[in-house]
């Protein structure tokens, strides 16, 4: 037997299922069977709230980066920056700013893209987007 070779014991570790399922079902409840809105908000609701926003940056900076990327013809990067700004504004319940960010994102996305449909869905009912976002984040922060 090699003194430097040890056999490893396998230990069973119990892992609790992620909480995403309950948040996902909560979102499902909030959208009241509107599949398009569900898929759009699945992509636009922030998971970490204030902590995540601090890492994402300031809305003004994101819009400037998006404008710069758009000017260079890099529509994909511009869309990502505009969408990130929209996510922050949706979280902050800033209706008009969120709407403007989504309009910018829509302007640089191809009509055939899934994200273009997300933009259209949310722009069609920003009040509902903000209502759902608030209820979703209130649920996430409840004990």
Cα gap 13→69, rounded to integer Å: 46
The predicted pLDDT at position 90 comes to 96
Are 96 and 70 spatial neighbours (Cβ–Cβ below 8 Å)?
Answer: no
Q: How confident is the model at residue 141 (pLDDT cuts 50, 70, 90)?
A: low
pTM greater than 0.85 (yes/no): no
> What's the mean per-residue pLDDT of the chain?
85
Residue 141 has φ and ψ, to the nearest 5°, of -95, -5
Query: Would you list the domain boundaries of the chain?
Result: 37-141
pLDDT value at 81 more than 90: yes
What pLDDT, in 10s, does the model give residues 11-48?
554 444 444 446 567 778 888 788 999 999 999 998 77
Residue 121: enclosing H or E segment and its boundaries? helix 114-124
Cα gap 99→95, rounded to integer Å: 6
Residues 6+ apart with CB under 8 A from 107: none
The predicted pLDDT at position 21 comes to 47
């Amino acid at each position: 037997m090699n003194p430097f070779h040890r056999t490893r014991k396998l230990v069973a570790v119990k892992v609790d299922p992620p909480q995403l399922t309950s948040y996902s079902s909560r979102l499902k409840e909030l959208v009241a069977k509107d599949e398009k809105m569900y898929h759009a908000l699945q992509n636009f609701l922030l998971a970490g709230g204030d902590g995540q926003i601090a890492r994402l940056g300031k809305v003004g900076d994101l819009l400037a980066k998006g404008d710069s990327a758009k000017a260079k013809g890099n529509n994909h990067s511009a869309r990502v920056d505009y969408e990130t700004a929209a996510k922050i504004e949706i979280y902050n319940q800033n209706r008009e700013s969120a709407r403007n960010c989504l309009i910018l994102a829509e302007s640089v996305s191809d009509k055939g893209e899934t994200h273009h449909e997300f933009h259209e869905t949310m722009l069609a009912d920003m009040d509902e987007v903000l209502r759902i976002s608030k209820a979703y984040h209130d649920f996430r922060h409840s004990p």
